[in-house]
């Protein structure tokens, strides 16, 4: 599965017209700048001819036509925004998920960073360890602690932004499972 389209992608892709299921698998070239688009499958010079006429050269982009792309163009498919794993880690969500939920259970979600690319890696399992997992913050250096505090603060602030609305909307911050 390819990466989800971003909103900017969608805005651009929504402009593509005249493509149908018979074009699936073909490329379609389009210009990021103007409304220019080639025909499905058509091989084109990599500069936009329309922008070129207006004295600036813009590189053509292409997408491979897929069923999903056609759905996006022809229907109002709700777009799921996603947060990168890097941002998830850097902002503190990973830390607080581990510190407040997984560690006390003896588990830890880990992120692997390889060539700047971050992926969820493994779930450490220390469930057979009576005290679970901990960051050992009591014995940590000040800059490590500062980073932990900043992340904790950020996540708390984000929670506070949502708390009152969630209580109004669904009755509690953490969604309750209704009793039978």
Binding residues for Zn ion, rule: CB under 5 A, are 31, 33-34, 36, 48, 50-51, 58
CB of 91 to Zn ion, least distance (A): 36
When the beta carbons of 34 and 107 are compared against Zn ion, the nearer one is 34
CB of 51 to Zn ion, least distance (A): 3
How far is 134 from 112, CA to CA, in rounded Å?
Answer: 19
The 3-state secondary structure of 39-69 reads CCCCCCCCECHHHHHCCCCCEEEEEECCHHH
CB of 31 to Zn ion, least distance (A): 3
When the beta carbons of 58 and 97 are compared against Zn ion, the nearer one is 58
When the beta carbons of 9 and 33 are compared against Zn ion, the nearer one is 33
CB of 158 to Zn ion, least distance (A): 40
Q: Which of 99, 95, 107, 110 is nearest to 150 (CA)?
A: 95
Give me 72's structure tokens: 């996006």
When the beta carbons of 54 and 162 are compared against Zn ion, the nearer one is 54
Q: Which of 89, 134, 83, 125 is nearest to 107 (CA)?
A: 125
């Amino acid at each position: 599965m390819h990466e989800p389209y971003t909103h900017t992608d969608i805005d651009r892709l929504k402009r593509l017209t005249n493509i149908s299921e018979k074009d699936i698998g073909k490329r379609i070239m389009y210009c990021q700048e103007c409304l220019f688009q080639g025909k499905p499958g058509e091989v084109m010079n990599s500069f936009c001819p329309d922008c070129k006429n207006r004295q600036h050269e813009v590189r053509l982009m292409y997408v491979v036509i897929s069923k999903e792309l056609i759905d996006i163009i022809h229907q109002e498919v709700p777009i799921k925004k996603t947060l990168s794993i890097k941002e998830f880690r850097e902002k503190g969500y990973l830390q607080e998920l581990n510190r407040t939920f997984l560690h006390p259970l003896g588990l830890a979600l880990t992120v692997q960073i390889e060539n700047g690319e971050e992926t969820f890696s493994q779930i450490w399992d220390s469930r057979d360890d009576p005290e679970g997992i901990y960051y050992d913050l009591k014995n940590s250096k000040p800059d490590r602690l500062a980073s932990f505090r900043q992340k904790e603060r950020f996540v708390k602030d984000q929670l506070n932004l949502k708390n009152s609305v969630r209580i109004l909307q669904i009755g509690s911050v953490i969604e309750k499972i209704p009793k039978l």
